[in-house]
């Protein structure tokens, strides 16, 4: 009996001591030849999109908003938390986090609807391009190229955090369009180091047209078509204080960029160049245009805003104020 117990204890210790399999943050990958072909085509397509845009605005970019409507599809194998069941509040928190992460880009996300499907095979086995994913998206995908479809699944069989289609993929396979993420990567989820909702932020970056900031083949060459992200050959793991994978090129690695592979706590930013690329991509391939909006501020009674470039105007007897720009905003083609 003692011998049997000893064997059992050794087996338990062995399981506990076994190394934890590292999760793959993202399944997206682009080869150098694909990159060249895609960017060459984009240069042509973008000029056509500019010529055909129905609403173009002159004036500061801060008074334009790129609104993206979201359909969230919960895929679960049971109604328990470990079975993939997440609440409407969890999803609303995810959209709020997404808006915080994209706050300086001009993009704003609005949750349009939530669906829930119980399917153990989809929950466990969905992967990019496989039969389970095809069946799932055929059954659930809604909207056109402007609608962001998000699928939260378990990835139980492949150890993955997420993947996404790119904007240019839509025309060839509309129902395949969307983002797939690990359900436990949402804010407050159970996936250690990846539970601040930044897997969704990363994958939505792909959906909006961004590449990884590092080379998918490990080379020190331009790999993301963005001028203000330094050349980077290696993906970042964890949250290092600094990293320079291409010492012969200017700048350090973008370890805090949402399009790297750092832990969630390390990801904090998009660059202005990435923001401009996303806007150009969605105009070209998704038909999403940045439309004008007038931001409002709620101020205490009697408080004024000392901005010399702005006029403040009371719009009611309450403390609701309207910020009115002094420059003209011109609409073309409306």
What counts of helices (H) and strands (E) characterise the chain?
Answer: 7, 11
Q: Which of 203, 269, 276, 289 is catalytic?
A: 203
Measured between alpha carbons, how far is 13 from 195 in angstroms, rounded to an integer? 28
Residue 203 annotated to the active site: yes
* 166, two tokens: 């790119």
Measured between alpha carbons, how far is 209 from 107 in angstroms, rounded to an integer? 13
User: How far from 133 is each of 106, 125, 139, 163, 175, CA to CA, in Å?
Assistant: 31, 8, 10, 12, 11
Write the DSSP string, 204-237: HHHHTT---SS-TT--SS--SS-TTS----S---
Measured between alpha carbons, how far is 229 from 225 in angstroms, rounded to an integer? 9
Q: Which residues are catalytic?
A: 203
């Amino acid at each position: 009996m003692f011998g049997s117990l000893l064997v059992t204890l050794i087996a338990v210790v062995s399981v506990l001591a076994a190394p934890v399999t590292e999760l793959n943050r993202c399944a997206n990958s682009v080869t150098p030849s694909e990159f060249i072909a895609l960017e060459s085509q984009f240069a042509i397509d973008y000029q056509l999109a500019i010529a055909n845009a129905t609403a173009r605005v002159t004036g500061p970019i801060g008074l334009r908003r790129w609104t993206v409507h979201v359909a969230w599809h919960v895929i679960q194998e049971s109604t328990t938390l470990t079975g993939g069941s997440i609440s409407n509040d969890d999803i609303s928190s995810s959209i709020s986090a997404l808006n915080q992460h994209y706050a300086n880009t001009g993009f704003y996300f609005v949750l349009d609807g939530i669906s829930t499907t119980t399917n153990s095979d989809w929950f466990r086995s969905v992967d990019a391009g496989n039969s389970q994913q095809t069946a799932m998206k055929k059954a659930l995908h809604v909207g056109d190229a402007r609608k962001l479809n998000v699928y939260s699944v378990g990835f139980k069989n492949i150890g993955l955090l997420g993947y996404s289609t790119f904007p240019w993929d839509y025309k060839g396979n509309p129902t395949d369009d969307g983002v797939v993420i690990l359900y436990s990567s949402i804010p407050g989820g159970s996936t250690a180091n990846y539970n601040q909702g930044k897997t969704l932020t990363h994958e939505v970056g792909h959906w909006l047209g961004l590449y990884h900031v590092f080379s998918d083949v490990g080379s020190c060459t331009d790999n993301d078509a963005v001028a203000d992200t330094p050349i980077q050959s290696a993906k970042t793991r964890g949250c290092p204080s600094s990293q320079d994978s291409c010492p012969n090129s200017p700048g350090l690695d973008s370890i805090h960029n949402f399009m790297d592979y750092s832990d969630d706590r390390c990801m904090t930013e998009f660059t202005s160049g990435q923001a401009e690329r996303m806007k150009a991509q969605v105009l070209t391939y998704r038909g999403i245009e940045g439309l004008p909006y007038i931001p409002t501020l709620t101020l205490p009674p009697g408080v004024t805003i000392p901005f010399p470039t702005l006029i403040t105007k009371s719009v009611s007897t309450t403390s609701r104020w309207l910020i009115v720009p002094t420059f003209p905003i011109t609409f073309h083609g409306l």
